[in-house]
Each structure stands twice: as structure tokens, then as C-alpha cells.
Structure 1
Amino acid sequence: MPVVKLIEIAHGRSGDKGNGSNVGIIARHPDIYPFLEKELTAARVKDHMKHVCKGEVERYELPNIGALNFLLNESLGGGGTVSLKLDAQGKTHALQVLRMEIDVPEELLSLVSK
């Protein structure tokens, strides 16, 4: 299986939720969602984001829109109004998750090939 960045098969959005950031990862094709559901665990996101996320990572599944939503607790240094972080609202967190390298079956890559 080829190793690619998650951004090849998904896109994302993120923002602040108090002292946590909310990261939504959306499959680029409906057939990719089951793969993401299996492979993109809260533990995997936590390990990838350990430099930012000091708390637990919670995962919520949204199969009707082919997305996974992650709440990265304790990732914003107190929250938007008190944080000294450059990205106090977690706007870059989705892009950081999308840079995760992942083994993806060829048949899924062909669904989103250019």
C-alpha cells in the first residue's frame, strides 16, 4: 500500500471550542469514509498531535456526511481570549492532522486521483 498524506483522501476544517480545538476530517469520496472510520482513531490523532494536544482526544462519527470529528482537549493554552499561542483558535489544527502519513489502498487512491 502506498503511504500518502491524509490530505490526499480527505479535507478538513478546524476551530476553537474553549480550551480545545475541534477538527473535522471529511472523506473526499463516500467509499473512503469506512476506511477513515477504521484507521483514523482518536489514539492515532492524539499521537500525531501530541505536540499540541495535552488532554484527551475524543472522536465523533458522522457517517451521513462521511466525516469524523475530533475534539482535542487542552490544545489551545487556555482558549482564544487568554492563550499566548500564535494559533489561539486552532485554525491550523486540521491542516496538521491532514499532514499525517497513512497507508492507503490503491483502489481508494484511484477514487480521488487527478
Structure 2
Amino acid sequence: MSELLHRYAHARAGDKGDRLSLGVFVYQEDHYAWLVEQLSEPNVAALFEHRGVSHVTRYLLPHLKGVNLVLDDALQGGVNGALNLDGHGKTLSALLLSMQVTPPT
């Protein structure tokens, strides 16, 4: 059985050039270890593969019960270089929150 990540966490997105930063934080503190397990670098890279992401770096934020994910080459050139409607990547946090996950136990 799987569910959508947004049921257990919320996210914010930011950008710098062609690099996307996604902060993801659980609603319940006891789900933090589960979040770390679900948002591995390979899992996130697979979700964003269609965007041409070249590398994913995950930073753990245990005191905040969240993770920061940095995705290189995710914005198709960034604000000044992309022709897409979301050069900042703000909607990509919604894509991450639509990720299918195994519910926490």
C-alpha cells in the first residue's frame, strides 16, 4: 500500500540559478526517521529524472524534523535561461509531495 507524501509532510522550494532547493518537514515529529528513509537521494533523483537533474544532495535537519534536498540542473537554465513557466521551481515542491511513499508504521 502506498500514499502520497503530502499526507505526512509539507515542503517549500527555492532556487539559485539552475539549482533547486526543496525543504521538506514532517507534520509529526515521530515521522522524521521515516521521512529520511523515504527521501533518499536515489528516490528523489528518480522522481525528478524527467527534469534532467544531474545530482541530488540531501542534508538532514534533525532539530527541525526535516530534510533539505538540493537538485542540480533541475530548472532548465533557471529564471534567466528557462522558457518554462516556472523558472523558480516553486511548483516542484508539489511534485515532490505527490511522491508515492510507504506509510509510516
TM class by shorter chain equals over 0.9
The 5 A counterparts of 1:54-69 are 54-69=53-68
| Aligned alpha-carbon RMSD (Å) | 1.1
The alignment status of 1:26 with 2:28, answered yes or no, reads no
Q: Could you say which residue in structure 1 is the equivalent of 2:43? A: 44
State the AA in 1 paired with 2:55: E
Identity %: 32
Deviations 1:57-107 (A, max 9, x none): 1100001100111011001111211211211000011110000001113x4
What's the offset of the Cα at 1:20?
Answer: 1.1
- What number of residue pairs does the alignment pair up? 105
- Name the TM-score, length of structure 1 as normaliser: 0.86
What's the offset of the Cα at 1:53?
Answer: 3.8
Of residues 4-13 and 71-80 in structure 1, the stretch that sits farther from structure 2 once superposed is 71-80
Contact preservation (8 Å) 2:51, 2:76: no
The alignment status of 1:3 with 2:10, answered yes or no, reads no
Deviations 1:34-73 (A, max 9, x none): 1111221011011011111431011000011001110110
The alignment status of 1:12 with 2:15, answered yes or no, reads no
Residue 57 to residue 30, structure 1, CA distance change in 2 (3 Å): same
- Name the TM-score, length of structure 2 as normaliser: 0.93
Q: Could you say which residue in structure 2 is the equivalent of 1:111? A: none
Gaps of 5+ in 2: none
Q: Could you say which residue in structure 2 is the equivalent of 1:110? A: none
- Give the secondary-structure state (helix, strand or coil) at the position aligned to 1:64: coil
Contact preservation (8 Å) 1:46, 1:53: no
Gaps of 5+ in 1: 108-114
